[in-house]
Structure 1
Amino acid sequence: MNPEKYLINKLEEVNKIIFSELMEQYGDPPIEKVMPLLLFRKIVEKCDAIKILHDNNCGQPALSFARSVLENRWYFMFIIDNDSEFRSLSYYYFDKKDNAKKEIKEMEYYNTVLLENISKNEGYIIQYQAKISLVEGLKEKCVIRKKFFQNQKLAKLPNTMWEEINIKYDEMIKGHEEEIIKNKLKIEEIEKRIESFNVQIEEMKITKERQEKILRRLNQDELFLEVRQEEKKLLGKRPNWYTLKTGISSIFQLSKNLVLQDEYITYARLSQEVHSANASQQLIVDNNITTLTNFRDEKGSEFAMAMASTFLSYSIEPFLKFYGKEEIYKEISERMYQFYK
């Protein structure tokens, strides 16, 4: 087992142990107790994703995960630095509120799209029904014409001609019947599609109601009273969760508040991948000859892996100290030393 895999597996094991202890102690872990754990787990999760990409020589895409490692590290460090209970509640409040509002808007948008699709498909059904009516009319004419000729006592027509007429009308009637069946099957297919759309609309209605319930809780629960009061002071602005009580308005200011602004240099570079500002880096110009980079390039993932591992290692001790697991930090340190000695 390599050191990265050991560390990721060990930390996830520790995460589960701490969460289990919180469950045992509180039944339902308080937000202020579990939020630092969840943020730290995000750091580990992103490192795991980077490792998977690195093992498969996927370069640049890994950089966006490395950026997320830094963001989650700063959020985690900010929460445990001071006023942990309020900051945990603030993070949870903003996270749930933003997600609920976005999901409600998303449900409303897709509800409109599905209703439009239902209307469009109902129009298709009307068209196929009109085709069926037309073909049924043609079939009925064929049946009538066939009976007409069968009822005629025209002795001068030879039997072979009668047979040809019968065969001709039988083929026409069969063709019309096949066309009718084909159009009916189309209608059944469309009706199933409409039924599926209606099921989706009902599911989205339930999802929307669930998110509206979350918003009501956030707006009414006494647990978030102080968060709401601080948010109200910034009415008209668009604060981040870490803005409350601090006035910190950007991720750079957050890093500066933590005296980690040197890490922002790396963060800014990693942001190029997230914002698609590095597409030109796929071109290599050497001696006036331009070529493309390899589609699978391990160099990008090597940098991402190195950065993520570094910032994860910086976060382990404060995390374990926050949850009173200093002895585990000693165990991890000794094991990592064995890897690199």
Structure 2
Amino acid sequence: MAKIDTDLDKIGLIIQKQLEVFDLAAKELSKKYGVVPDYLTITMLLYRKIIEKLDAIFILLENESEKAAESINRDLFENILYFLYIVDPIGNPKVRALSYHYSYLQDKLHLADLLLTPKEDGKKVRRFMGIENNNGEIKKMKIEREKIFNSLQREEYNNIKIEWRYLINKKGQKHPKWYSLFKGPKSLRELSKKYGYLVEYLTLYNLFSNQVHTTNILHQIENVNGTAYLKNLRVYDNPELVLQFSRSLGVKSLVEFINFFIPEEKDNIQNWLRKNILKK
């Protein structure tokens, strides 16, 4: 337990430092731009999601909910790969961040169309939401759909829209992965390989997927002297796996955030990591 507590403390320190540098970068961006460009805001908010996921893992592990933490760790891994792709100095961060948001808007538009369709699927969803005969709510949804549609027509999305349609019409992709636009990685596996995480994708990501898709239900049973017992809902099986992986992802995201937004803090963050996180 002492080792687990020490590792948890380090994750807590990483979260605190992530929040600290996030606030510092936000102040520097406001000072530099006044109105921060959309692509930088998107990138900042993606990083904040990483902090949120790491914080959730910390809370779950602190309460011995290891299996639930595995699900969030899988999400954290995906979020960090997205972040690495956007801030990659070899790529175009503006185009990549806007592609990420364009994909999000496409998802929202698809959902709005589903909610408003006169087909049976739409009726079932509206009935479930209790708004089937609520003209006021339906009117609000139509207005929201119009806002989403108009956002997708913004000039900054013109090239992205052309590429998106190309992948749908010429490549037969029903819903393109945003990172696959402009000859990017075609899958999460390729994205993992691009940033040196292929082994983690093949092992830990797929292992944590068992928890997400609930293919590991028999892991709830333990054998004691030939008798089967149900484990406690909150139990440590192998918390080091989640602890070490989430901690390494937290460190990676922290370093890359600094490199992209406030590179003048590189030396400070390396010294802090050596003193607080990387020490044995």
Q: Normalising by the residue count of structure 1, what TM-score does the alignment of the two structures yield?
A: 0.68
Does the residue aligned with 2:229 lie in a helix, a strand or coil? Answer: strand
Higher relative contact order (CA 8 A, sep 6+): 1
Shift of 1:105: 2.1
1:97 aligns with one of 106, 122, 125: 106
2:14–2:251 Cα contact (<8 Å) kept:
no
Q: List runs of 5+ in structure 2 lacking aligned partners.
A: 1-7, 117-121
Shift of 1:53: 0.9
The equivalent of 2:164 in structure 1 is: 231
Residues of 2 paired with 1:247 and 1:206: CA distance? 37
2:259–2:266 Cα contact (<8 Å) kept:
no
2:108–2:148 Cα contact (<8 Å) kept:
no
Residues of 2 paired with 1:273 and 1:99: CA distance? 27
The equivalent of 1:40 in structure 2 is: 47
What does the per-residue CA deviation read over 1:21-62, in whole Å, with 9 as the maximum and x for residues that have no partner? Answer: 323433432232223322222221111001111111212011
The equivalent of 2:210 in structure 1 is: 272
Residues of 1 paired with 2:247 and 2:150: CA distance? 40
The equivalent of 2:179 in structure 1 is: 242
Runs of 4+ residues deviating >6 angstroms: none
Counterparts in 2 of 1:44 and 1:115: CA distance versus 1, 3 Å: closer
Residues of 2 paired with 1:318 and 1:278: CA distance? 34
RMSD: 2.5
Counterparts in 2 of 1:83 and 1:66: CA distance versus 1, 3 Å: same
Matched, 1:254 2:194: no
Identity of matched residues, %: 31
Greater alpha carbon shift after TM alignment, 66-75 vs 325-334: 325-334
The equivalent of 1:75 in structure 2 is: 82
Larger radius of gyration: 1
Greater alpha carbon shift after TM alignment, 40-49 vs 322-331: 322-331
Residues of 2 paired with 1:72 and 1:290: CA distance? 38
2:131–2:138 Cα contact (<8 Å) kept:
no
Residues of 2 paired with 1:204 and 1:5: CA distance? 44
- Which amino acid in structure 2 is aligned with residue 232 of structure 1? R
How many residues matched? Answer: 258
Residues of 2 paired with 1:59 and 1:208: CA distance? 42
Residues of 2 paired with 1:104 and 1:300: CA distance? 44
- Which amino acid in structure 2 is aligned with residue 77 of structure 1? L
The equivalent of 2:97 in structure 1 is: 88
